[in-house]
Amino acid sequence: MTTPAIDQPIRRIAAALRDGLLAIPDLMEEALARHQRHGAALNAYKHWDGERARVEAQGVAALLAAGRDAGPLMGLPISIKDIYGVAGMPTFAGTPRELPAKWRREGPVVAALRSALAVVTGKTHTVEFALGAVGLTANWESPRNPWDAAAHRVCGGSSAGAGVSLAEGSAVIAMGTDTGGSVRIPASVTGQVGLKTTAGRWSTQGIVPLSATFDTPGPLTRSVEDAVLAFAAIDAGHGDGEALLRRLETMTAADLRIGLCDEHFWDNCAPGIAEAVKAALDEVAAKGARLVRMTFPEAAEAARRALHLQPFGVEGLSFIAEEYSDRMDTMDPNVRARFEIARKASAVDYFTAMRWVRALGDDADGRLRRVDVLATPTVPITPPTVDEVATPDSYAEAQRMVTRNTTPINLLGLCAVTMPVGLDGAGMPVGLQLIARGGHEERLLATALACEKVLGDGRMRLGRPPLCAA
């Protein structure tokens, strides 16, 4: 391999391991070396355990040599957001103190990755209790967006370190969670792919809860192709990731019907964002995809009906009040402010809003039956610098804008993926969001794969982040 092994697509790494061109311990040493080189500057991880990963890689290599093949993720380094339980690793969930030992227990998502014999390198930073999409981790040093070498820009949240771990090269899959955008936002602003699964498709057991209604586990990866392999490893019933990938790859750009709407998603985008997304869609259309004009008023209406109540905070507050009421005094002020808004919501107003949101979700599902996906920008603004969100008002405004295009998708019960398509006027990554009906992840991923075949993956389209170029 002329390109370092750790920078190759998962499919190619897996083939090299089985052809004897690469050894799992050598791959892991590359990942550990990347963290050694970039970790101090980027600060992706709350907990790093390179020595344990090294030992596990040796054991997995022995299994592969003995003829046990657990699939394409076998022996590959992955990072896990620090709200998932991982045996032998502490869980802080962004708080100043470790949570009780029960939050080290692994749930079904981590268990599935373990069964695939992926190797956990460490746990990435999260916004406290996952309530925040800007990416500040107030109790710990905030991860740095690797696309700006001059200023400390945020890298999105709440899965704040996830996309950074991929850019660093210490992981090839980063597990996050998405309640209002917390997989897609960090993926978008760090130049990665992020999959928001439908609520309820994957278990949230073993994950510190924010919202029992809206929490969804999801992977961040370096390409859509890699996302399919991660999805297959976790999703019950798929098993063979290569088989799913071959099946989904049969869709081409000429098969696609991509919806476009004017309302909500395209307003007040920072320079270069709407332009990059539209240019990418024009490229796909040039290969035969049909761009279909449609309306989608449910997005703005769902946000209007629900977000003034902070519905995620209402559900999260119930959990914290029951188990961790003593932590409110040490809580990140930006997170506490959102919980305080939630505290003022009445039960009647909350359930009324949720009833409306469910009805709007049914309407949105009906509209999306006309197309394969609806396409929008993922994040409409350039990720701000840490200094630019240093006041409560500036933080609140950034929070509002970074979630504007993602949170309605959660409220409406849909699934979505973001993929990198360009750089904005500040040289920061731009994400294209593809939105599909709830429960239709396979169709969503097939559509995204067809687009990636035309556009290229993030590395091909964007190049390397400046802080990871060496």
pLDDT in tens, the chain (470 residues): 578 999 999 999 999 999 999 999 999 999 999 999 999 999 999 999 999 999 999 999 999 999 999 999 999 999 999 999 999 999 999 999 999 999 999 999 999 999 999 999 999 999 999 999 999 999 999 999 999 999 999 999 999 999 999 999 999 999 999 999 999 999 999 999 999 999 999 999 999 999 999 999 999 999 999 999 999 999 977 778 999 999 999 999 999 999 999 888 999 999 999 999 999 999 999 999 999 999 999 999 999 999 888 899 999 999 998 888 888 889 999 999 999 999 999 999 999 999 999 999 999 999 999 999 999 999 999 999 999 999 999 999 999 999 999 999 999 999 999 999 999 999 999 999 999 999 999 999 999 999 999 999 999 999 999 999 86
Domain with residue 45: its CATH number is 3.90.1300.10
Q: Under a CB-based contact definition with an 8 Å cutoff, are residues 93 and 316 in contact?
A: no
> Which residue in the list 46, 81, 196, 278 is annotated as catalytic?
81
Q: Is 232 left (phi over 0), alpha (psi -120 to 50) or beta?
A: alpha
Alpha-carbon gap, residue 396 to 460, rounded angstroms: 34
**Chain segment 112-158, per-residue pLDDT in tens:** 999 999 999 999 999 999 999 999 999 999 999 999 999 999 999 99
CB 72 within 8 A of CB 10: yes
Q: How many structural domains comprise the chain?
A: 1
Q: What tens digit of pLDDT does each residue of 258-289 get?
A: 999 988 899 999 999 999 999 999 999 999 99
Name which of 233, 195, 237, 236 is nearest 216 in CA terms.
195
Assess whether 81 carries a catalytic annotation: yes
CA atoms lying within 13 Å on the CB side of residue 154: 31
Q: Give the tokens for residue 328.
A: 């409110």
What's the burial of 366, exposed, middle or buried (CB within 10 Å: 0-12/13-18/19+)?
Answer: exposed
The rounded distance, in Å, linking the Cα atoms of 14 and 398 is 40
SS3 for the chain is: CCCCHHHCCHHHHHHHHHCCCCCHHHHHHHHHHHHHHHHHHHCCEEEECHHHHHHHHHHHHHHHHCCCCCCCCCCCEEEEECCECECCECCCCCCCCCCCHHHHCCCHHHHHHHHCCCEEEEEECCCHHHCCCCCCCCCCCCCCCCCCCCCCECCCCCCCCHHHHHHHCCCCEEEEECCCCCCHHHHHHCCCEEEECCCCCCCCCCECCCCCCCCCEEEEECCHHHHHHHHHHHCCCCCCHHHHHHHHCCCCHHHCEEEECCCCCCCCCCCCHHHHHHHHHHHHHHCCCEEEECCCCHHHHHHHHHHHHCHHHHHHHHHHHHHCHHHHHHCCHHHHHHHHHHHCCCHHHHHHHHHHHHHHHHHHHHHHCCCCEEEEECCCCCCCECHHHCCHHHHHHHHHHHCCCCHHHHHCCCEEEEEEEEECCCCCEEEEEEEECCCCHHHHHHHHHHHHHHHCCHHHHHCCCHHHCC
* Residue range(s) defining the domain that contains residue 30: 5-468
- Amino acid identity, residue 392? P
Predicted local confidence at residue 470, as pLDDT = 65
pLDDT of residue 332: 94
Q: What's the confidence (pLDDT) of residue 176?
A: 98
Query: Residues 163, 195: contact at Cβ < 8 Å?
Result: no
Could you confirm whether 318 is annotated as catalytic? no
Q: Is 41 in contact with 144 (CB distance < 8 Å)?
A: yes
pLDDT of residue 262: 86
**381 close to 270: Cβ distance less than 8 angstroms:** yes
The amino acid present at 155, given as its one-letter code, is C
What span, in angstroms and rounded, lies between the C-alpha atoms of 418 and 401?
Answer: 17
Query: What's the pTM value of the predicted model, to 2 decimals?
Result: 0.97
Tell me if residue 102 is catalytic: no
| Choice among 79, 142, 158, 165 that is catalytic | 158
**Looking at 159, 165, 170, 182, which residue is catalytic?**
182
